[in-house]
């Protein structure tokens, strides 16, 4: 193969066979092509490399060398590091995983660093480190493969002189500069200072090489610094793990939009279809049965997550349980003992072990005030095989968990009615988050639709919750704790926290279950499609629809949103109980009122979420991802939308008395409750009067055929909103309090954005420009203008009837504001 070719090896064979659509034409598998190794060269050097002649081996790798052998030999001599690369390893795909091991900042939010696939190539008396590209592919036997090769001609990251030749023509190169100079792809800081940068340590294994180095450089001044601000010095300890990718790549499995699994994408230019075909493959581990004929077998290689030894000791068992919670799902897919959590070995047990090693799945515990956790994975870009999965548990996630649990379900769990929460409860909550983030790490994105797949009444039944594994069909939803349940339901506390659900077990099966007799990804498709069709009759196996933006069943932080009106009403009952307990729980003699302030703010935020779950019903369309079997979008019927507006008028746009307790407010702030309530209500109004929502209502009305399909119209929405927000202006003697006045001003702000949308900047994304244009051409502008004119008329009249001076001034201000909105140039 010519120098610079980038056609994939074995993967090109996989991509060349058949198609998802079942096209009859097939091509025979091509033999794996060798990776490019540069120009032919004898062991004496010479050729066109531009470097001097290599020296004798003993003069380069002296007796002072510390040598370790594995993937290839690595030598350290004083401050210099050498790779001795056998001819057989040139041109092989190597994933480089870069991570910050120490330093850089004190936030605890350690930098992940980049990862890339590279290969060492020989060019005369030099070894080049070239980056690989896998986004576009072609069968090497096809004519277009030459053009694909040219596009995949990757950048050269670094060049090294061949210092000597080892046994079997192994090229010896000094690689120190890769880690201690300003090579962009390997630098963790700006403007590396070589006198303060050096190799720390290295380790060598059969599959990989790990290097750690201290890098010292500059950090730009913080944003907003004054004109005299200068860069500051920063030092990091950075790790690079060079892992050779499998020479026999895993057979990939095709992706299906009906099933929520992460994927990689290739554009194949040699498929038989009359277009460049996007082929997506799911992200998954390479699970192979020890006994292929057994229905259930241990895997050849199990999935092990190593637990950071920085994890608080008392939490380690709960973290391990969060990982092993997935084991029964893998067993249903045919793999026993497939996943395990294991405390990482100590330096005494294994001095060469590193959590940053590209071979290891890891759950880090980060000393950070960030109240969050994350999970993800690095994959073989040729096949989607998960190489290294990582979960970050930031220490203050426990604070987030405490707030969630207390605010949502403390009336249902006596353990949460005093603070701090007992360790046993906090451990259970940490286990829940670890299981969720492990789901991301093993290849699952979020599935926010799952929380709407059970009837709202059912999740108040203990027997239903036991049977289904919790109140939501998957751990991958943001459906935290069961706030729909009521104290009288007597739900056992262990069922308030979600567990592995039926969707999780389905997705693990779809991702991993072997399909006997299938030799290619296309061979697997009929079986995969039949599994996906299980959603036709089992709604809780469905996943979020990728191009849906207005599905009221696809919400975050929701429980029971199959009926958001009912579920939010029940949630409000629990929230009133929570607010009623705040002083008792959070007032602690000898301590400031920070806890009371935090919990009160969380309660107000929860009130806003419940209201927004209901607002999502207006102009909403329930979605169901299908492949050629029926409609994917179904606008909600008029009755459900009217019921949602009735709830908003009764609850969201009324003053929530539970938050107006002076005993709480005078302990936490001198002012602010009016703004808190206004902000929460403004969020609902901005959502309802969003041009995209109004445009949907207009379109649904145009497509409705009357009768049962009658739609809820913009005119009806505006009339209902007037009834709820502007109630007082039709009364005989209007008296509008401060909360309602701020609500009405928020309405005008939302209406102004819809009537006079700001011009997007020239560099705005096309989607933002299209949205602004749609707002200008929408019927909603005309209807809103007419509505404001009517509100102006009513407000003018009401100002003459009221006996309250503040109400009169407010109404006159409203009239002037409407004048300005309707005629902004005056």
Is pLDDT at 645 greater than 60 in this prediction?
yes
Question: What tens digit of pLDDT does each residue of 555-585 get?
Answer: 999 999 999 999 999 999 999 999 999 999 9
pLDDT at 51: 54
Dump the DSSP string for 667-695: HH-SS-HHHHHHHHHHHHHHHHT-HHHHH
Give the CB-side neighbour count of residue 652, counting CA atoms within 13 A.
33
Distance of CA 46 to the CA centre of its chain: 51
pLDDT tens readout for residues 316-348: 999 999 999 999 999 999 999 999 999 999 999
Half-sphere exposure of 702 (CA within 13 A, CB side): 8
Higher pLDDT, 176 or 228: 176
Whether 110 shows a pLDDT value over 70: the answer reads no
Enter the tokens of residue 565: 């009106």
What is residue 825's predicted lDDT score, i.e. its pLDDT? 76
* First-residue to last-residue Cα distance in the chain: 73
Confidence of residue 105 (pLDDT cuts 50, 70, 90): low
In terms of DSSP bridges, do strands 361-366 and 303-307 run parallel, antiparallel, or are they unpaired? parallel
Average pLDDT, the chain: 90
pLDDT at 8 over 50: no
Residue 28: pLDDT over 70: no
CA distance linking residue 652 with residue 360, whole number of Å: 49
CA dist 340 → 46, 299, 301, 314, 505 (Å): 52, 12, 11, 19, 17
DSSP secondary structure letter of residue 822:
H
Please write the tens of the pLDDT for every residue from 725-765. 999 999 999 999 999 999 999 999 999 999 988 888 878 78
Strands 73-77, 621-623: parallel, antiparallel or unpaired by DSSP?
unpaired
pTM of the complete model:
0.90
Q: Give me the mean pLDDT over the 645-650 stretch.
A: 97
pLDDT 10s digits, 466-481: 999 999 999 999 999 9
Residues 216, 197: contact at Cβ < 8 Å?
A: yes
User: Does residue 49 carry a pLDDT above 70?
Assistant: no
Question: Which residues, other chains included, contact 580 with Cβ-Cβ below 8 Å and sequence gap of 6+?
Answer: 658
Q: What residues does 339 pair with on adjacent strands?
A: 303
DSSP state of 622: E
Distance in angstroms (rounded) separating the CA atoms of residues 201 and 795: 76
Report the alpha-carbon distance of residue 625 to residue 449 in Å, rounded: 11
Q: The dihedral of CA 542, 548, 549, 551: what is its sign? A: negative
pLDDT, average across residues 61-87: 97
- Using a pLDDT cut of 70, give the percent of the chain over it: 92
Q: Which helix (H) or strand (E) holds 478?
A: none
Listed by start position, the domains of the chain span 11-222+229-248, 689-826
pLDDT bin (cut points 50, 70, 90) of residue 104 is low
pLDDT at 222: 74
* Residue 341: how many other CB atoms lie within 10 Å: 25
The b/e string for 619-655 (b: 16+ C-beta within 10 A; e otherwise) is bbbbbbbbeeeeeeeebbebebbbbbbebbbebbbee
Give one DSSP letter per residue of 25-42, joined into a string.
Answer: ---PPPPPPPPP--S---
Question: Is the pLDDT reported for residue 11 higher than 70?
Answer: no
Classified as helix, coil or strand, 257 is coil
Q: Are 122 and 38 in contact (CB under 8 A)?
A: yes
Q: How far apart are CA 19 and CA 27, in angstroms?
A: 11
Q: What is the pLDDT of residue 37?
A: 36
């Amino acid at each position: 193969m010519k120098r610079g070719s980038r056609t994939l090896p074995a993967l090109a064979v996989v991509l060349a066979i058949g198609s998802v659509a079942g096209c009859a034409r097939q091509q025979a598998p091509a033999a794996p092509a060798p990776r490019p190794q540069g120009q032919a060269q004898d062991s004496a050097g010479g050729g066109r490399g531009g470097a001097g002649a290599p020296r004798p081996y003993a003069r380069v790798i002296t007796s002072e060398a510390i040598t370790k052998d594995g993937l290839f030999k690595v030598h350290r001599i004083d401050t210099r590091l050498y790779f001795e690369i056998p001819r057989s390893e040139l041109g092989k795909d190597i994933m480089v995983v870069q991570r910050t091991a120490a330093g850089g900042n004190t936030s605890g939010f350690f930098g992940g660093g980049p990862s890339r696939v590279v290969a060492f190539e020989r060019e005369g008396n030099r070894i080049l480190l070239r980056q690989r590209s896998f986004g576009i592919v072609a069968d090497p036997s096809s004519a277009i493969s030459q053009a694909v090769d040219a596009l995949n001609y990757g950048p050269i990251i670094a060049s090294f002189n061949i210092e000597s030749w080892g046994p079997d023509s192994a090229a010896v190169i000094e690689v120190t500069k890769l880690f201690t100079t300003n090579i962009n792809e390997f630098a963790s800081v700006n403007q590396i200072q070589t006198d303060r940068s050096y190799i720390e340590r290295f380790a060598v294994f059969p599959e990989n090489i790990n290097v750690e180095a201290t890098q010292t450089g500059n950090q730009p001044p913080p944003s907003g610094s004054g004109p005299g601000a200068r860069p500051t010095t920063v030092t990091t300890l950075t790790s690079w793990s060079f892992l050779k990718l499998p020479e026999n790549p895993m057979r990939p499995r095709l992706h299906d939009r009906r099933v929520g699994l992460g994927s990689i994408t290739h554009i194949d230019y040699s498929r038989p279809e009359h277009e460049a075909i996007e082929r997506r493959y799911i992200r998954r581990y390479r699970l192979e049965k020890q006994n292929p004929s057994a229905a259930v077998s241990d895997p050849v290689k199990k999935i092990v997550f190593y637990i950071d030894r920085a994890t608080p000791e008392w939490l380690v068992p709960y973290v391990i349980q969060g990982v092993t919670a997935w084991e029964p799902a893998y067993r249903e897919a045919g793999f026993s003992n497939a996943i395990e959590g294991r405390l990482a070995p100590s330096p005494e047990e294994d001095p060469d072990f590193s959590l940053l090693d590209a071979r290891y799945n890891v759950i880090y515990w980060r000393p950070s005030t960030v109240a969050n956790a994350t999970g993800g994975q690095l994959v073989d870009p040729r096949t989607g095989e998960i190489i290294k999965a990582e979960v970050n548990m930031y220490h203050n996630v426990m604070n987030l968990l405490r707030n969630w649990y207390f605010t949502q379900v403390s009336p249902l769990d006596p353990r949460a009615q005093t603070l701090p929460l007992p360790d046993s409860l906090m451990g259970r909550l940490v286990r829940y988050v670890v299981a969720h983030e492990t789901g991301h790490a093993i290849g699952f994105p979020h599935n926010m639709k799952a929380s709407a797949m059970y009837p709202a009444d059912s999740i108040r039944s203990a027997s239903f919750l036991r049977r289904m594994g919790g109140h939501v069909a998957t751990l991958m939803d943001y459906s935290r704790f069961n706030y729909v349940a009521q104290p009288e339901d007597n739900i056992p506390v262990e069922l308030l926290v979600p567990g592995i659900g039926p969707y999780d077990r389905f997705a693990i099966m779809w991702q991993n279950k072997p399909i006997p007799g299938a030799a290619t990804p296309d061979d697997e498709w009929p079986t995969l499609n039949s599994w996906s069709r299980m959603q036709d009759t089992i709604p809780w196996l469905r996943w979020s629809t990728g191009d849906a933006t207005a599905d009221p069943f696809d919400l975050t932080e929701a429980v029971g949103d199959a009926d958001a009106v009912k579920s939010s009403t029940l949630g409000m009952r629990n929230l009133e109980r929570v607010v009623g307990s705040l002083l008792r729980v959070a007032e602690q003699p000898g301590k400031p009122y920070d806890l009371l302030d935090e919990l009160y703010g969380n309660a107000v935020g929860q009130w806003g979420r419940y209201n927004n779950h209901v607002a999502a019903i207006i102009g909403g369309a329930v979605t169901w991802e299908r492949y050629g079997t029926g409609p994917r979008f179904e606008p909600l019927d008029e009755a459900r939308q009217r019921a949602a507006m009735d709830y908003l008028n009764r609850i969201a746009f009324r003053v929530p008395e539970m938050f107006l307790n002076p005993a709480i407010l005078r302990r936490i702030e001198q002012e602010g409750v009016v703004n808190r309530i206004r902000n929460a209500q403004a969020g609902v109004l901005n959502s309802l009067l969003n041009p995209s929502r109004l445009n949907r209502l207009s379109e649904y009305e145009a497509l409705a055929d009357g009768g049962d399909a009658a739609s809820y119209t913009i005119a009806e929405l505006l009339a209902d909103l007037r009834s709820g927000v502007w109630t007082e202006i039709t009364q005989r003697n209007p008296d509008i309090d401060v909360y309602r006045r701020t609500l009405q001003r928020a309405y005008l702000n939302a209406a102004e954005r819809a009537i006079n949308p700001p011009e997007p900047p020239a560099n705005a994304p096309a989607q933002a420009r299209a949205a602004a244009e749609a707002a200008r051409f929408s019927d909603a502008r005309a209807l809103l203008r007419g509505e404001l004119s009517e509100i102006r008329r009513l407000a003018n009249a009401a100002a003459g009837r009221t006996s309250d001076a503040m109400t009169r001034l407010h109404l006159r201000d409203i009239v002037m504001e409407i004048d300005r909105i309707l005629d902004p140039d005056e």
